[in-house]
Amino acid sequence: MRTLALIATLFSVLGLSACHTMHGFGQDLEKVGDSIQKKSER
């Protein structure tokens, strides 16, 4: 039972960290898109 709880906790932490990483990637991608759009408007 203890092992199952440890495995569940590990998967939860990995899932949350992956979600956070993808969120940051999305923000970076949005900044790149904004930069390209501003350069094309010149």
25 pLDDT higher than 80: no
* pLDDT 10s digits, 26-42: 888 788 888 888 888 87
pLDDT score for 39: 81
Instruction: Write out the H or E segment, with its range, that includes residue 11.
Output: helix 2-41
| Domain-wise residue ranges, the chain | 1-42
> Model-level pTM?
0.48
pLDDT at 19: 66
Rounded mean pLDDT of the chain? 79
- Return the structure tokens found at 28: 């970076």
**What is the Cα–Cα distance from 24 to 7, expressed in whole angstroms?**
26
